[in-house]
Structures are given as C-alpha cells and as structure tokens.
C-alpha cells in the first residue's frame, strides 16, 4: 500500500469522540501526515458533542457537516451527500472511521465509491443480530474497508471468516481505554459525586437508550418493573439519554419513572464526570456497547440488558454479564454483586491505553 499522508478522520456521535481524540491530536502534530477532522454533526447538542471536544482536548473540526437528526435513511443520505463534496475537494489518501454509528457507514461507503481507502477502528465486532442497526453498519463498513483495526480476538476471527486479508487485520486493542488512561487524573478530580450527594460504592449507574429497550410502552413497562426492583436494593443514578426521555414522554411514562424513590434521573454527563461516576459505582446496568469495555478495564461489574454482545471478551474474560430484560436474572445478579460474590474478571490483551500508538504505527508503515 502506498504512503498514506493525507488523512481524513471522521467523528459524528458521542461514542466516536473518545475513539478519535488521541489519534487526531497525534496525527496533527506529526509532520509526516496531513490530518483533517470531519464532524458530521450526527450528535449536535452541547452535552452529546461539544463538551467531549472540550474535555478530551479534541482539536476544532476542520469541517462540520451539520447533518442533524432524522431517520436512518435520511441521516445516512445527508452525510453521504455532504461528505462526498469534502472528499472531492480534499482528495485524501485515507478515510478513518470508528465504531458502528450511521456516520461510520455513510462515510466509508462514500469514500469507497470514490476509490479512497478506508480504515475502520473497531473492525470485526459482531453481535450476530441484524435487527440492530449497528450490526448492519459494522458489516457494511468492514466489507468496504482496506485496513482493519481490531479491539479483541473475536474481531480477528470474524474478519478472517468473512474473507478479509490477514495482512490488513491489526489487533491493536480497545481505543476506548486510551482516554480512560490518558485522562485518569482529570477523571479523579471530577466533583460529580459531591454534586449528586453520592458516596463511592453506595450507588449503581444506569444507561439505557437502545430501541430494543425503550421504543415501546410495553418495553418501558418491563424496564420500570426491573428498575423498581433494583432500586429497592441500591440507589440508581441515570444520566438519561435524550432519545429515551423522548420515548418516555411519548408514552406518558416519564413521571412514573421520575417518582421511583431511589432512581436519580439526571441530565447527560460529559466524559470526565461520567467515567468518574462509573469508576466509583458498585455496578453498572446498561445496554451500551462501549461501557462494557470501560467497566471491564475498571473492574466494575456490568449487567448488560441485551441478549447478545459484539464484545464477547467482556463476558468471557471481563466483568460483564448478559441479562436481557429478565427481572429474575437481573435481581439475582445484583444480589450476587452486593454480597461480594461477583467474579473479578481480567482485562483483555492490549486494553492498556496504548491502542492509538499501535494504530499510528500501522498508518506510518502501511
């Protein structure tokens, strides 16, 4: 592969910002590269976007596409049409995308159609559940990519099975751990526990946003019963995702959740406050993907309210357990944690805060 000098790095949604922060900083300081950061605007409000740029010291985007919200098709189409103009104007050697959001799919597809090479951070992750839009994004992006940066061994095996060239697959570790390590002192300085009147280990963190959990009144009714049972055992702190709040309001259930005595619903948090909240918690109840990695690294028990995960190493090696929306399974797991019977888990290979450096080594010697 020829030398990759002119690189566009794409970010667009909250999960992307942590993944590209260090990479963009290093590329812009390296005289061997010319790096442009493109922010698609998939997440466009302050807490979901700008605060992450401030806290993680991400340089101001060179290009802001400002696509906003919409259906999957609308948002993907907006990103493709606006990003195409950027590619035609800038003529990069490589486009770097991360994760599995709509911006990842749209920008990789646009680049591939213009015969521009694509590198995918977090390649090969598979839940094997195509009802999840993220799974479709992952599969299509990997099918179009030229360089694969993989976070865990399962990703390597998935890519080989799907026909990816072995020489293009690079096991580099979890890029989600890099900012946890890099920002450790700033995270510890967070005053979020004091602001929320919390004591370490005396609360659990809740995050829920996936359509499979929050889109219907029936799902939310199940969630309510689960949270009611869990909050009888320990206080739950819930930085509520705007999408989930909207669904609760749509189904006239927001007040019902708000009235749960030991469910503390708060606004979304920036990166430093959120990681501090997780780090000092007793456990996390979530349907997120990336939080499964962060909790494994931090040795915090994680109960994932899904029936599958694209990060199996967090279950096999780490502190993660898949619990779905099964109230009995969840309350049993909570009791196991609170009585000190939870297994400690291990951190997978290369989840050490140095993933960005390994990615840079590959880009410098493709």
Q: Which two tokens stand for residue 194?
A: 């004091």
Q: Which two tokens stand for residue 288?
A: 């997120």
Cα 203 to Cα 262, 277, 291, 299: the distances in Å are: 10, 9, 17, 16
- The C-alpha atoms of residue 207 and residue 197 are separated, in whole angstroms, by 19
Q: Which two tokens stand for residue 26?
A: 């290093």
Give the alpha-carbon dihedral of 263, 196, 43, 258, to 10 degrees: 30
Give the alpha-carbon dihedral of 211, 215, 216, 222, to 10 degrees: 70
- The C-alpha atoms of residue 88 and residue 179 are separated, in whole angstroms, by 32
User: Phi and psi for 286 in degrees, rounded to 5?
Assistant: -150, 165
- The C-alpha atoms of residue 31 and residue 232 are separated, in whole angstroms, by 57
Neighbours of 214 (CB within 10 A): 21
* Bridge partners, 98 (sequence order): 121
Collapsing DSSP to helix, strand or coil, 223 comes out as helix
Q: Which of 28, 33, 83 is nearest to 59 (CA)?
A: 28
Catalytic residue among 209, 241, 251, 299: 209
- The C-alpha atoms of residue 63 and residue 206 are separated, in whole angstroms, by 34
Q: Are the beta carbons of 283 and 204 closer than 8 angstroms?
A: yes
170 has catalytic annotation: no
Q: Which two tokens stand for residue 137?
A: 């994004």
- Give catalytic residue positions: 209
């Amino acid at each position: 592969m020829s030398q990759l000098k002119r690189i566009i790095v794409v970010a667009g949604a909250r999960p992307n910002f942590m993944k590209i922060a260090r990479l963009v900083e290093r590329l812009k300081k390296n005289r061997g590269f010319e790096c442009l950061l493109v922010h698609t605007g998939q997440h466009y409000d302050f807490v979901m976007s700008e605060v992450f740029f401030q806290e993680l010291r991400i340089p101001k985007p060179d290009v802001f596409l400002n696509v906003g919200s919409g259906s999957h098709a609308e948002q993907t189409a907006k990103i493709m049409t606006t990003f195409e103009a950027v590619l035609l104007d800038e003529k990069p050697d490589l486009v770097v995308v991360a994760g599995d959001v709509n911006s990842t799919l749209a920008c990789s597809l646009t680049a591939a159609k213009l015969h521009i090479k694509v590198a995918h951070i977090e390649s090969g992750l598979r839940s094997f559940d195509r009802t999840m839009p993220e799974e479709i994004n992952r599969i299509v992006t990997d099918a179009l990519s030229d360089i694969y940066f993989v976070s865990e061994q399962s990703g390597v095996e998935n890519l080989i099975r799907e026909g990816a060239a072995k020489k293009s697959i690079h096991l580099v570790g979890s890029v989600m751990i890099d900012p946890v390590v890099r920002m450790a002192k700033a995270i510890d300085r967070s005053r979020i526990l004091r602001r929320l009147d919390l004591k370490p280990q005396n609360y659990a963190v809740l995050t829920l946003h996936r359509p499979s959990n929050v889109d219907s009144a029936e799902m939310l009714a199940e969630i309510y019963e689960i949270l009611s049972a869990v909050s009888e055992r320990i206080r739950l702190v819930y930085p509520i995702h705007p999408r989930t709040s909207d669904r609760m309001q749509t189904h006239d259930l927001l007040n019902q959740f708000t009235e749960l005595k030991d469910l503390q619903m708060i606004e979304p948090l920036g990166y430093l406050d959120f990681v501090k909240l997780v780090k000092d918690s007793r456990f996390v109840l979530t349907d997120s993907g990336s939080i499964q990695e962060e909790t494994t690294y931090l040795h915090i028990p994680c109960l994932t309210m899904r029936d599958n995960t694209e990060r199996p190493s967090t279950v096999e090696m780490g502190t993660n357990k898949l619990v779905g929306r099964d109230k009995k399974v969840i309350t049993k797991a909570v009791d196991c944690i609170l009585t000190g019977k939870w297994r400690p888990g291990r951190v997978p290979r290369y989840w050490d805060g140095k993933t960005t450096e390994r990615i840079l080594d590959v880009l410098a010697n493709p």
